[in-house]
Amino acid sequence: MICDAGTKARFTRPLVRWYRTAGRDLPWRNRPEPYAVYISEIMLQQTQVSTVIPYFHRFLSAYPTIGDLAAAPLEKVLKQWQGLGYYARARHLHRAACQIVEQYGGAFPSDLKALMSLPGIGRSTAGAILTIALGQRHPILDGNVRRVLCRFFAIKEDPREKKVEAMLWDLSSALLPKRLPGFYLQAIMDLGATICKPKQPICGDCPVTRACGARRAGLQADIPLKKPTKMIPHFDYVAGVILSGDAVLIRRRPLKGLLAGLWEFPGDRVAEIFGELSADESPEAALHTYFKNELGLELTTAGQWMTIKHVFTHFKMTLHVFICRIDAQLGYEAPFRWAKMKTLDQHPFSSSHHRIVLRLDTLDRGGSATLSAS
């Protein structure tokens, strides 16, 4: 697909004119230096701008420089990130910050390949940092840009196919102006976020609508080609809030895998506890079995305290939470820890388990279930 000077004039110029008056006033655009752009780009991956803004302010307040981020313990970084989800992003941020300090003296590398070698930084993110913050000229291809280009050029093929993706990179590069390329990148990202939206694009307000191939063909709703809808599996989990005096037992997840490094209340997926019998067993029975096998606790009485529903990328979860008590704090080694109730807010929890922490503030400690050591 050819992108000639005429096509560029019909797309790039009206887009830039539109952005001068319609562009969003976002906090990271007020300080276009590599670190702020980097943090914003990572936070905006799979997260809406309205959600990111307060997190961006808090994160930059806690870690105003790349050196501050590198010096911080990972657990504190995860705590700052708590609620944004996709926690691998925070772990990559921390690892990349450490590498930038160790290998580059705290200055962002100005070479595209060097920047892409850092954890969690792909070609599009690296291109955005170097173009917006350092005035270099690199194309990007995030979700918004991909959607805009597919519609403007009426690309009916799957944008996830390698040959189509390569073509989109070429188009993104060809449309990039020599003057103020960072300004243009922010313009096309804004167009995709506010006008050329995934559903119900506002074509009447689009600055390039007259030249848009999808609009002229009436294919806005069909382009880009969507992934086939997959059935999202549902799993039941159990968790026990084990209280002993003013302390509660918590467990840190492994440093690799889902929700790596975060804290939670002990429990497991019901199917993992019972295997093939899970469909015929209750969450309470699963809790009995889990604590007996894993912690040597014989559950005598329990009552379900709360139910939490949460959607992950690849599955849905119902978390059945039980409140429990023991008289003495049995000794457990890592990854378990007895934590004072008043210190729980210092630990990074996943969003579902953080809801348990918030609910604990209202707990009537006078009555609950009972556990005894087996």
Q: What is the CATH number of the domain that holds 313?
A: 3.90.79.10
Please indicate, yes or no, if residue 226 is contained in any of the structural domains.
Answer: no
**pLDDT bracket for residue 366 (50, 70, 90):** very low
> Does residue 229 sit within a domain?
no
pLDDT at 374 over 70: no
Structural domain contains residue 227? no
Identify the residue with better confidence: 280 or 150. 150
Give the confidence band of 277 by pLDDT, cuts at 50, 70, 90.
very low
Looking at residue 32, its pLDDT comes to 79
Tell me, rounded to whole angstroms, the distance of Cα 175 from its chain centroid.
29
If you ran DSSP here, which 8-state letter would residue 362 be given?
T
- Helices 181-194 and 143-152 cross at an angle (nearest 10°) of 80
pLDDT tens, position by position, 61-120: 999 999 999 999 999 999 999 988 889 999 999 999 999 999 999 999 999 999 999 999
Residues taking part in catalysis:
41
Q: Name the β-bridge partners of 367.
A: none
Q: Of 67, 66, 39, 35, whose CA–CA distance to 55 is shortest?
A: 39
Confidence of residue 144 (pLDDT cuts 50, 70, 90): very high
3-state class (DSSP) for residue 48 = coil
pLDDT mean across residues, the chain? 89
- 128 with 49, same domain: the answer is yes
10 with 46, same domain?
yes
d(CA 316, CA 195): 30
- Domain check: are 59 and 98 in the same one? yes
Number of domains in the chain: 2
Same domain? For 187 and 336 the reply is no
- CATH number for the domain that contains residue 211: 1.10.340.30
Long-range contacts from 315-318, C-beta under 8 angstroms, 24+ separation: 315/232, 315/233, 315/234, 315/235, 316/232, 316/233, 316/234, 316/235, 317/234, 317/235, 317/236, 317/237, 317/352, 318/234, 318/235, 318/236, 318/237
Residues 6+ positions from 8 with CB-CB distance below 8 Å: 174, 175, 177
Q: Is the pLDDT score of 368 beyond 80?
A: no
Check whether residue 257 and residue 351 sit in a common domain: yes
Two tokens, residue 6: 């005429």
Condensed to tens digits (0 to 9), the pLDDT of residues 189-208 reads: 999 999 999 999 999 999 99
Q: Residue 358 and residue 174: Cα distance in Å, rounded? A: 51
Based on the fold, state whether residues 34 and 176 are members of the same structural domain: yes
User: What Cα–Cα distance (Å) separates residue 93 from each residue in 25, 113, 118?
Assistant: 25, 17, 9
Residue 211 binned pLDDT confidence (cut-offs 50, 70, 90): very high
Q: Are 251 and 362 found together in one domain?
A: yes
Q: Are residues 60 and 146 in the same domain?
A: yes
Same domain, 208 and 264: no
Q: Is residue 174 part of a domain?
A: yes
Asked if 175 and 147 touch (Cβ cutoff 8 Å), the reply is no
- In terms of average pLDDT, the best of 20-34, 152-166, 355-369 is 152-166
- Residues 92 and 212 placed together within one structural domain of the fold: yes
Residue 303 maps to a domain: yes
Provide the greatest CA pair distance for the chain: 79
What's the average model confidence in pLDDT over 148-156? 96
Residue 280 has pLDDT above 60, yes or no: no
In this structure, the answer to whether residues 187 and 318 fall within a common structural domain is no
pLDDT value at residue 355: 92
State pTM to two decimals: 0.84
Which range marks the domain in which residue 9 is found? 5-217
Q: How many helices (H) and strands (E) does the chain have?
A: 16, 9
